[in-house]
Amino acid sequence: MFEIYIKLYIHSNLTTINSKTIKNFYYYILKNEEIVNIPNITFDNSLCFSTTSSININYGPGLYIVENDYKNMIEDLVKDININKNALQEVENDINYNLSLSEKLIRLKKDLEDKLKKEEGKENKITDQRFDNETKNIMKKIELIEKKYKSINLDDKYIPNTFSHYSKWNKEKKFKKLDLFKSDIDHEYINKIIELDISFDYKILLLIGIGILTNDNNEYNTVMRELADSKKLLLIIASSDYIYGTNYQFAHCYLSHNIANITQEKIIQAIGRVGRKEKNKRFTFRILNDEHINILFRDNKNMEGDKMNKLMS
């Protein structure tokens, strides 16, 4: 069907294929979406990634390329999710509670280790679990403390693409669990994020799976990159310079409308970060400014490329 459609569109004349006819071809497809039958892809450019727009990110993480000044966007994302600052305080309190338990546990385990060392050589006694009352008491205390640890996480209603979050922000749409991609921040990284010397907004966004590549805090960047490399983040917000020097693959990419000086090469590089090495999944690259489309399809004379073509011809 798709091959037949192409032939009909270009009248089987290969000389008509150029950047303009390719753009017209895709435009015609989008106007006649029933021809290609692309289900389950939502084209929502409201960009409320912490609330309604998170459902656009499925099968894998997203990248949002913006200008270097992220301040307004960060404020909007946090404002949209409307998280209570007490929620972060509760997480911090739980972490401190667990740290207090850990300190007690370390001391008790050291005491137990010292007691067991005294029993070395008495194999039958250790094998048969025949310990004195003091040793048994230490073991019992360790077991009780380990049961007191609290689970450290934000409520799911704040985490994009969880069932609770989806139900809150997309009440009229059926939950498609298998398609949606969500962040996966474990307890170790939650602890690290809480302890970072960075603003509340950055902490909250990272806790819900949105990382911002910034030059202001190396420690934050390290944690964010570690999470990104292991595909634990829902979305990364970065300038166009981020696309160089990384092999991190995305399922979706948004090119912000307000980027003033992006080059054709950078757009092509950004497109190359989407969907590579993945099969049987749906990926999107979303250009929000028509001028960027013109830049992408513009004829670009490249002296180095011309010389290489001549050498190889």
* Spatial distance between the Cα atoms of 61 and 150, rounded to a whole number of angstroms: 29
More confident of the two residues 36 and 279: 279
Same-domain status, 282 and 177: yes
Domain check: are 55 and 3 in the same one? Answer: no
Q: What pLDDT, in 10s, does the model give residues 95-150?
A: 788 888 888 999 999 988 888 877 665 555 555 566 778 888 999 999 999 888 88
CB 200 within 8 A of CB 88: yes
Mean pLDDT of the region 287-305 = 77
Q: What is the pLDDT of residue 239?
A: 82
Instruction: Kindly state the tokens that stand for 114.
Output: 């010292």
98 and 159 assigned to the same domain: no
Range with lowest mean pLDDT among 109-113, 177-181, 187-191, 216-220: 177-181
Distance of CA 150 to CAs 8, 91, 98, Å? Answer: 64, 10, 7
* pLDDT score, position 79: 86
Task: Give per-residue pLDDT as tens, 190-208.
Answer: 888 888 888 888 888 998 9
Do residues 171 and 253 both lie within one domain?
A: yes
Query: Is the per-residue pLDDT at 85 higher than 90?
Result: no
Find the domain containing 24 and state its range: 1-38
Sign of torsion over alpha carbons 79, 81, 82, 84: negative
- The whole-number pLDDT of residue 210 equals 93
Q: Comparing 8-17, 88-97, 178-187, which segment has the lowest mean pLDDT?
A: 8-17
Q: Can you give the pLDDT at residue 7?
A: 46
Supply the pLDDT for residue 278: 64
* Helix (H/G/I), strand (E/B), else coil: 285: strand
Instruction: Clarify whether residues 172 and 68 are in a common domain.
Output: yes
Global confidence as pTM: 0.69
Total tally of structural domains belonging to the chain: 3
**Where do the DSSP E strands lie in the chain?**
62-65, 210-212, 235-238, 252-255, 284-287
The Cα 81–Cα 281 span in angstroms is: 29
Q: Give burial (CB, 10 Å; 0-12/13-18/19+) of 256.
A: buried
Closest CA to 233 of 216, 256, 250, 253: 250
DSSP one-letter string for 236-281: EEE-GGGGTT----BSEEEE-TT--S--HHHHHHHHTTBSTT--S-
CA distances (Å), origin 230, targets 20, 210, 298: 39, 14, 36
What's the rounded mean pLDDT across residues 303-311?
62
pLDDT digits (tens, 9 = 90+) for 46-63: 678 888 888 888 888 999
Whether residue 45 is predicted with pLDDT greater than 60 in this model: the reply is: no
Once rounded to an integer, what is the mean pLDDT over residues 285-310? 75
| Domain boundary pick from 147, 164, 189 | 147
| Tokens found for residue 141 | 């205390």
Q: Which residues, at least 6 apart from 244, have a Cβ–Cβ distance to it below 8 Å?
A: 269
62: tokens are: 């997203």
Residues 173 and 280 in one domain: yes
Using one digit for the tens of pLDDT, what is the confidence trace for 155-166? 888 999 998 998
Q: Give the separation between CA 91 and CA 283, rounded to whole angstroms.
A: 35
% of the chain residues with pLDDT over 90:
7
Question: What is the spatial distance between Cα 258 and Cα 32, in angstroms, rounded to a whole number?
Answer: 29
Residue of 84, 68, 51, 78 whose CA lies nearest to 202: 78
Distance (Å, rounded) from C-alpha 35 to C-alpha 39?
Answer: 12
pLDDT over 50 at 300, yes or no: yes
Q: Check residue 1 and give its pLDDT.
A: 41
Same domain flag for 218 and 245? yes
Q: CB–CB of 45/288 below 8 Å?
A: yes
Shared-domain flag, residues 68 and 192: yes
Same domain, 79 and 116: no
Who has greater pLDDT, 304 or 6? 304
Q: How confident is the model at residue 274 (pLDDT cuts 50, 70, 90)?
A: confident
The answer to whether residues 74 and 166 belong to one domain is yes
Q: Are residues 110 and 60 in the same domain?
A: no
Phi, psi of 181 (to 5 degrees): -110, 135
Q: How many helices (H) and strands (E) does the chain have?
A: 14, 5
Q: Which CATH number belongs to the domain containing residue 172 in this structure? A: 3.40.50.300
Q: How much is the mean pLDDT over the chain?
A: 78
pLDDT of residue 39: 45
pLDDT for res 144: 93
Query: What average pLDDT does the segment 228-236 reach?
Result: 89
Q: Both tokens of residue 288? A: 């929000």
Q: Are residues 177 and 292 in the same domain?
A: yes
Q: What pLDDT is attached to residue 235?
A: 93
